[in-house]
Chains A and B, each alone.
Chain A
Amino acid sequence: MKTAFPYWRHRIAPVFDTARQILVVTSDAGMTTGKTEVTLADGHPTAKLLPLVELQVDSLVCGAISSQVRQMAVFYGITVVPFIAGDLDAIVRLWLAGKLAGDANAMPGCRRRWGRRSRDASLENVAPEELKAQNEPQDRLRIARHGRHSACQAAARRRKI
Chain B
Amino acid sequence: MPEATSDEGRATAMGTKKPANTTPASTEAILESISDGVFTVDRDWNVASFNRAAEEITGIPRREAIGRPCSEVLRSNMCGDHCPLQQTLTSGRPIIGRSGYFINADGDRIPISISTAVLRDSGGTVIGGAETFRDLSEVEALRQELNGKAHVGDLTSRSPVMQKLFAILPAIAASPSTVLVLGETGTGKELVAHTLHDLSPRSRRPFIAVNCGALPDTLLESELFGYKAGAFTGAAKDKQGRFALAEGGTIFLDEIGDITPALQVRLLRVLQEKCYEPLGAVRSETTNARVVVATNRDLTALVKKDLFREDLYYRINIIRIELPALRHRKEDIPLLVDRFIDRFNRRQQKAVTGISTEALSLLMTHDWPGNIRELENLVERAFILCTEGNIDLAHLPGELLPHHPATAGKSNLRTVRSTVDAQAIQTALERNGFNRLAAARELGIHKTTLFRRLKKLGIPLPVKDGRNRR
> Which residues does A use to contact B, with CB under 8 Å?
8, 11, 13-15, 17-20, 43-44, 46-47, 49-50, 53, 63-68, 70-72, 75-76, 82-83, 85, 107-111, 113, 146, 150, 153-154
Contacts and interface: CB of A to CB of B under 8 A. Distances in A.
A43 to B, nearest CB: 8
Interface stretch (B4-12, B76-84, B348-356, B397-405): B76-84
17 contacts: A14-B74, A14-B76, A17-B77, A20-B80, A44-B203, A46-B174, A66-B103, A67-B106, A67-B108, A72-B174, A75-B174, A82-B107, A83-B105, A85-B68, A109-B60, A109-B105, A146-B107
B87 to A, nearest CB: 16
Given A71-B174, A109-B60, A47 B204 contact: yes
A5 B58 CA distance: 24
Nearest to A107: B72
Contacts of B69: 11, 14, 85
Contacts of A15: 75-77, 79-80, 103
A153 B77 contact: no
Contacts of B201: 46-47, 49-50, 53, 72, 76
A64 B175 contact: no
B310 interface: no
A66 B75 contact: no
B175 A150 contact: no
A18 B80 contact: yes
A49 B103 CA distance: 18
A72 B200 CA distance: 9
B65 interface: yes
A67 B64 contact: no
Most buried by A among B71, B107, B170, B205: B107
A71 B73 CA distance: 23
B162 interface: no
B189 to A, nearest CB: 23
B458 interface: no
Nearest to B67: A108
Contact of B106 (A11, A53, A107, A154): A154
Given A72-B174, A153-B106, A18 B60 contact: no
Question: Sorted from nearest, which 4 A-B pairs have the closest CB atoms?
Answer: A67-B107, A109-B60, A64-B103, A64-B75
A70 B170 CA distance: 13
Given A46-B201, A65-B107, A109-B105, A18 B61 contact: no
Contacts of A53: 201
Nearest to B76: A15
Given A47-B204, A75-B174, A107-B75, A146 B80 contact: no
A4 B200 CA distance: 21
Given A14-B72, A72-B174, A108-B72, A50 B77 contact: no
Nearest to A69: B107
Given A65-B103, A67-B106, A109-B104, 6 more contacts: A15-B75, A15-B103, A46-B203, A50-B202, A64-B103, A85-B72
Nearest to A15: B75
Contacts of B174: 46, 71-72, 75
B123 interface: no
Contacts of B170: 68
A8 B80 contact: yes
Given A107-B72, A108-B73, A150 B59 contact: no
Contacts of B205: 50
B303 interface: no
Most buried by A among B65, B103, B203: B103
B440 to A, nearest CB: 45
A113 B81 CA distance: 30
Most buried by B among A13, A14, A49, A68: A14
Interface string B37-62: 00000000000000000000011110
Nearest to B100: A18
A149 to B, nearest CB: 8
Nearest to B66: A108
B314 to A, nearest CB: 23
Nearest to A12: B72
B241 to A, nearest CB: 22
B79 A109 contact: no
Contacts of A108: 60-61, 64-65, 68, 72-73
A82 B201 CA distance: 19
Contacts of B72: 11, 14, 63, 85, 107-108
Interface in B156-203: 170, 174-176, 198-203
